[in-house]
Structure 1
Amino acid sequence: MTFLALFLAYPLFYNLRTSVHDVRLSQLLGGSWQFNGLDNYRAVLDDPAFWHSVRLSVVFTLGSLVFQFSIGFALALLFARPFPLGGLLRSLLLVAWLLPPVVSGTLFRWLLDAESGAYNALLEAVGLGILSHDWLTDPSTSLAGVVFANIWVGVPFNMLLLLVGLHTIDPQLYEAAAIDGAGPWQRFRRITLPLMRPVSVTVLLLGLIYTFKVFDTVFVMTGGGPVDSTRVLSLYVYEVFFRFFRFGQGAAAGLLLLVVPLLAGVFYVRRLRREETTGGAA
């Protein structure tokens, strides 16, 4: 309880207190703060840049989750059955998840570099040099480049959890379905998908909680640019705090950033309790 109070409750309370005061740089560590009620929240919600960042965060999150989950599910199905070197390949895939986000962001910034990037070099090598592009410096493709990097980071996590879920399905169900004449697609649609629904919901909720507030990867790759084309909500909060030194508005924006992950977290906890009550039924 002491740990929770010190490292969770107090920072949240301090942030909430800051969000309802007009706090300047000279007052941050001392001096009296002027209470201004909900003015900081109104200022943030009236800021077009805030809503621009919200839209980018939604696109970034949805794009990441769709491909992370789809690719992760496909890989989980692949590794669910043993094959030569399967364990080694699975371990290598987990490296992407184990790398710090700053390292992953730096790696993809180099891979997608316009002049010396490996991706453009690969296109040149296979005769598709016409498709070479300034991926991270073009506002029309920079967000896609960042999403691509985040997909690579999140796929192993999705694969691992989904693989655990697949191993909980009784193989006799597939055998009985095959005897009844069900083909691979029918077995997947009638057995795998329904029984994997609880795990799938959990994976997507955890992905939503993490992805919506991603900062490190985007900051390292683009810093929110070019022309604010990748300034997701976490970077907006960072800029309000440390570029414009509007600490009250930054605290308010930070609390608004927590709304989506908090709602997803509440839904996740309620789902876990419901499953415990019903004995794990979907």
Structure 2
Amino acid sequence: MADVLRRAAGAVDGPGAGAPSDRRTGGLGRLGRRGRRHQSHLLFLLPALAYMVAFFGYPVVKNVVMGFQHYTTATFYSGRAPWAGLANYRAVVSSSVFDKALLNTALFTVGSIAGQFLTGLAVAVFFRRRFPLNGVLRSLLLLPWLVPLIVSSTVWRWILDQDNGVLNRFLGDLHLVQDRPGWLTSTSLALIAVIGVNIWIGIPFNVAILYGGLQDIPEELYEAAALDGATGWRAFRYVTWPLLRPVVAVVLVLGVVYTVKVLDVILGLTGGGPANATQTIASQSYQLSFQQFDFGQGAALGNILIAVSLVFAVLYLRANRRAVEL
């Protein structure tokens, strides 16, 4: 009789009577698994986040705060850094060196980026052709990029030396110059020499990135363009350049962010001289902080550089997003 009643109740409730409860249990299980998976992702991100905060976030915040303080060597002993407000910024901006350093920074950045990009693009297009030892030569091009900057600047300082430099001896043997130019001691030549050395250092980066972009352009497009008579310069103008433009935007923005804060090359070659002819905002910030020990004013100049780099970083992110969308 009990079995008959149970079967009757099952017929009334239907075969899916327990399904809603099971679906709720299954849904909660899936949510729990998803939450655990999300927590595991966060755990994997924590070391990288801690590294970024410790080695990037804290120094930037500390530098920003120092820019508004009278921070000197006495602060390391007393721990007191009186609030200065905008006094440090007014001091560095009104300095007689600031206008010269700002102009030199602009000239150094524009000259370096133009030279590196144009030369790198020409070399990348050249290496797109297949010829013997192509890979070996492309590998050798990376050497200036792999050598530490202070080592490169030291070698170039010897090359550009006025009395015993290889360059002046070579030019003299060819009778191309009568007097030995002071590449690093002349106020009219020093900045040009520093820009030239920085161009030499930055060419491998431009070649590597632009060559990778050129490799992504299908050969079929050049073949189709050749059928329409677009070869040589016309093929570059109508095929290569439009498809390479997203990569070019990224290279230029990254180059500006890197070049505007270059310090090693200038310190190794001229130290900002002669007569501030190669002084930039980065080198002036270094001198204020580690030669005059006025860390507050040095940090203020550093914050100006951070602001400039931040602008170009935003441009880079927008260019990168646009490149991904294309």
Q: Is TM more than 0.5 here?
A: yes
Equivalent in the alignment of 2:254: 206
Q: Distance in 2 between matches of 1:113 and 1:275?
A: 44
- Offset, 1:2: 0.8
Equivalent in the alignment of 2:147: 99
What secondary structure is seen at the aligned counterpart in 1 of 2:188? coil
Equivalent in the alignment of 2:29: none
Q: Distance in 1 between matches of 2:190 and 2:166?
A: 16
Q: Distance in 1 between matches of 2:79 and 2:120?
A: 52
Q: Sequence identity of aligned pairs in percent?
A: 42
Matches within 5 A, 1:4-23: 4-23=52-71
Equivalent in the alignment of 1:196: 244
State whether residues 113 and 134 of structure 1, in contact with CA within 8 Å, keep that contact through their aligned partners in structure 2: yes
Equivalent in the alignment of 1:158: 206
The worse-fitting range, judged by mean Cα deviation, of 4-13 and 36-45 is 36-45
- Offset, 1:249: 1.1
**Match for residue 269 of structure 2 among 216, 221, 226:** 221
Equivalent in the alignment of 2:231: 183
The CA deviation string for residues 96-130 of structure 1, in whole angstroms up to 9 with x for no partner, is: 11111001101110111111111111112222232
**Match for residue 95 of structure 2 among 47, 54, 63:** 47
State whether residues 71 and 155 of structure 1, in contact with CA within 8 Å, keep that contact through their aligned partners in structure 2: yes
Residue 2 (1) aligns with residue 43 (2): no
Equivalent in the alignment of 1:140: 188
**Match for residue 220 of structure 2 among 160, 165, 172:** 172
Runs of at least 5 residues in structure 2 that lack an aligned partner in the other structure: 1-48
Q: Distance in 1 between matches of 2:72 and 2:165?
A: 42
The residue identity in structure 2 corresponding to 1:186 is: R
The CA deviation string for residues 228-251 of structure 1, in whole angstroms up to 9 with x for no partner, is: 101111110011112222221111
- Offset, 1:131: 5.9
Equivalent in the alignment of 2:315: 267
Equivalent in the alignment of 1:234: 282
Structure exhibiting the larger radius of gyration computed from Cα positions: 2
Q: Distance in 1 between matches of 2:245 and 2:75?
A: 51
**Match for residue 123 of structure 1 among 147, 167, 171:** 171
Q: Distance in 1 between matches of 2:141 and 2:322?
A: 33
- Offset, 1:29: 4.4
Q: Distance in 1 between matches of 2:211 and 2:161?
A: 34
The residue identity in structure 2 corresponding to 1:178 is: A
State whether residues 123 and 131 of structure 1, in contact with CA within 8 Å, keep that contact through their aligned partners in structure 2: no
What secondary structure is seen at the aligned counterpart in 2 of 1:22? coil
Equivalent in the alignment of 2:73: 25
What secondary structure is seen at the aligned counterpart in 2 of 1:57? helix
Q: Distance in 2 between matches of 1:22 and 1:261?
A: 25
- Offset, 1:147: 0.6
Equivalent in the alignment of 2:294: 246
CA change 1:274–1:89 in 2 (3 A) is closer
What secondary structure is seen at the aligned counterpart in 1 of 2:78? coil
Q: Distance in 2 between matches of 1:29 and 1:4?
A: 28
What secondary structure is seen at the aligned counterpart in 1 of 2:141? helix
The worse-fitting range, judged by mean Cα deviation, of 97-106 and 129-138 is 129-138
Runs of at least 5 residues in structure 1 that lack an aligned partner in the other structure: none
State whether residues 19 and 252 of structure 1, in contact with CA within 8 Å, keep that contact through their aligned partners in structure 2: yes
State whether residues 246 and 320 of structure 2, in contact with CA within 8 Å, keep that contact through their aligned partners in structure 1: no
Write out the 4+ residue segments of structure 1 that deviate beyond 4 Å after TM superposition: none
The worse-fitting range, judged by mean Cα deviation, of 210-219 and 243-252 is 243-252
Q: Distance in 2 between matches of 1:249 and 1:86?
A: 50
The residue identity in structure 1 corresponding to 2:199 is: I
Q: Which of structures 1 and 2 has the larger relative contact order (alpha carbons within 8 angstroms, sep 6+)?
A: 1
How many aligned residue pairs are there? 278
Residue 65 (1) aligns with residue 113 (2): yes
Equivalent in the alignment of 1:257: 305
The worse-fitting range, judged by mean Cα deviation, of 250-259 and 162-171 is 250-259
The residue identity in structure 1 corresponding to 2:74 is: S
Q: Distance in 2 between matches of 1:45 and 1:129?
A: 40
